[in-house]
Amino acid sequence: MEPIKLTLENLNKAFPENFTQEQIAKAKTLFLKKLAEDAHKFYGGKTQTVPKAPVMGFNWFNVWYTPGVSKVSTNIRDNNAASYELSNRGNLVAVVSDSTRVLGDGDCTPSGGLGVMEGKAFLMKYLGGVDAVALCIDSKNEKGENDPDKIIDFVKMCQHSFGAVNLEDISQPNCYKVLDVLREECEIPVWHDDAQGTACVTLAGFINALKLANKKASDVKIVLFGAGAANTTIARILIADGADPKKMVMFDTKGSLHSGRKDIESDKRFYRKWEICLSTNPDKIKTMEEAMKGADVLISLSTPGPDSIKREWVRAMAKKSIIFACANPVPEIYPYAAKEEGAFIVATGRGDFPNQVNNSIGFPGILKGALMVRASKITDSMAIAAAHSLANYAEKRGINPENIVPNMEEVGVFPDEAADVAMQAIKDGVARVKITRDEAYKKAKADIDYSRSLTKSLTETGYIQAPKQEMLQNALDWAVKQVS
């Protein structure tokens, strides 16, 4: 009998039978890292530029370039809005980062963020039908400090080439100022996926998890572990959608947030954290042990685990407790461990565990929706609309404790989400173009179908090679050796 061909889908069956659940989880993480390294080297990254116009003969170069293109330039000069129709600007996103907080790896130097930023561009194209380019920049000033104003200036200067900007992996507190200034001062939507994107998808999971637990947002006690851009925005979005701030407690590295945290009040750069201090934790609960007693929901975006969230904390939670352990690349507690301690629903940021609460189901559809109506900004209401769109889509096809949100393979969710976001942009008064929901849905679906068909065609014809079997096997052998 021939050995079973190793794939990512049958990976769990490939580990030694004597491996414990913890060993499998560790080996899987190492396998994915090694495979990512080898695959990126094999392909030379994962994105490329492909023309979308034909070359039917030599003289067509005179149309796509000089002298014919002069007419395009002067048309746009006289009416800048024409750039959305005469160039790719209307479907093009800049993925901008200074790479100072890349996943759980911290400051990776500007070019160190390219893997993630190219990944964003890859997903935007395949899932959202949106073109994107990775722009990793150096934000250091003359003193060697990361300067938010340098990022702000850069985005302002390059905004005229793009339909939207996706900010990514910018460390706090700089990320707060960068987003808030650019949202107000740019002509195009500027979106911080680590903040608004994570909040959107977390809210979607939160909505459906509460349905399964038969609990209401206004009633539940929520603990937020970690106080970076993601969790502070999650708190704001949850409150805007009905959660009670008086039943929330958030923790940073120095303890709980509350109105007595003078260290946060005195540092004006952390104004978003200070807002949380003033609106939550009125009883000034100080410890995680105290906060977790009877808590219904734990949302953690903190230090990668697997022991950042203690088992005893989970045991102290209310019945049918809900845990979002979303640190990357390793969750703060493994799902199996949280389940052993009584958790009802566990979500992580990873696709190899149930309930992947990851930005990948949010930003492609959200940005597509904003682009289709030429929105001037992406409002919190648009992010909340996207969250409800995701939750509703999942509920219609069926949800359970192991499946609370859509995944990236559910291609139908993205045009649906894009259409809902476009409609909310019109409702919020930030859309420059008004279309019907049906028009938005059909446009998004057509562009997404095109992108997926293009990738499939290039793969089937050999222009994109299939990954070699030995690449997967070598990564598996290496990971097993590290854990054994």
User: Is pLDDT above 80 for 348?
Assistant: yes
What mean pLDDT do residues 133-141 have?
Answer: 96
Task: Tell which wins on pLDDT, 267 or 386.
Answer: 386
Distance of CA 206 to CAs 138, 277, 308, 321, 405, Å? 36, 22, 21, 12, 9
Q: Is the peptide bond before 306 cis (omega within 30 degrees of 0)?
A: yes
Q: Which domains does the chain have, with CATH numbers?
A: 58-188 (3.40.50.10380)
pLDDT at 4 (0 to 100): 55
What mean pLDDT do residues 39-53 have?
Answer: 94
Q: What is the dihedral of CA 417, 127, 136, 93, to 10 degrees?
A: -60
Q: How much of the chain, in percent, has pLDDT values that exceed 70? A: 99
Q: For 394-429, what is each residue's pLDDT tens digit?
A: 999 999 999 999 999 999 999 999 999 999 999 999
User: Is pLDDT above 60 for 37?
Assistant: yes
Angle at the Cα of 41 from the Cα atoms of 38 and 360, rounded to 5 degrees: 80
Kindly state the greatest CA–CA separation across the chain. Answer: 75
pLDDT at 306 (0 to 100): 85
- The answer to whether 120 is a known catalytic residue is yes
User: Is pLDDT above 80 for 3?
Assistant: no
Q: Is the peptide bond before 245 cis (omega within 30 degrees of 0)?
A: no
Instruction: For residues 476 and 64, give the distance between their C-alpha atoms in angstroms, rounded to a whole number.
Output: 47
Catalytic residue among 43, 65, 450, 463: 65
What mean pLDDT do residues 102-117 have?
Answer: 91
Task: Name the token pair of 469.
Answer: 């079997």
- Across all residues in the chain, what is the average pLDDT? 94
User: Is pLDDT above 90 for 352?
Assistant: no
Q: For 234-284, what is each residue's pLDDT tens digit?
A: 999 999 999 999 999 999 999 999 999 999 999 888 889 999 999 999 999
User: Is pLDDT above 50 for 1?
Assistant: no
Residue type, 212: L
Q: For 166-219, what is each residue's pLDDT tens digit?
A: 999 999 889 999 999 999 999 999 999 988 999 999 999 999 999 999 999 999
pLDDT at 8 (0 to 100): 84
Identify the bridge partners of residue 273 per DSSP, sorted by sequence position. Answer: none
What mean pLDDT do residues 61-76 have?
Answer: 96
CB 378 within 8 A of CB 189: yes
Distance of CA 262 to CAs 247, 252, 290, Å? 21, 14, 22
Catalytic residue among 26, 28, 34, 120: 120
Q: How far is CA 33 from the centre of its chain?
A: 19
Q: How much of the chain, in percent, has pLDDT values that exceed 90? A: 86
Residue 446 CB contacts under 8 Å (≥ 6 apart), including other chains: 129
Task: Name the token pair of 278.
Answer: 């003033």
Task: Please state, as a whole number, how many other Cβ atoms lie within 10 Å of the Cβ of residue 146.
Answer: 18
Q: How far apart are the first and last CA of the chain?
A: 27
Instruction: For residues 300 and 307, give the distance between their C-alpha atoms in angstroms, rounded to a whole number.
Output: 12
Contacts 24+ apart (CB under 8 A), 349-353: 351/407, 351/408, 352/8, 352/11, 352/28, 352/32
Q: For 453-469, what is each residue's pLDDT tens digit?
A: 999 999 999 999 999 89
- The answer to whether 211 is a known catalytic residue is no
Instruction: For residues 443 and 441, give the distance between their C-alpha atoms in angstroms, rounded to a whole number.
Output: 6
Residue 10: band (very low, low, confident or very high) from pLDDT cuts 50, 70, 90: confident
Of all helices (H) and strands (E), which one includes residue 255?
strand 255-256
Nearest to 405 by CA among 370, 456, 357: 357
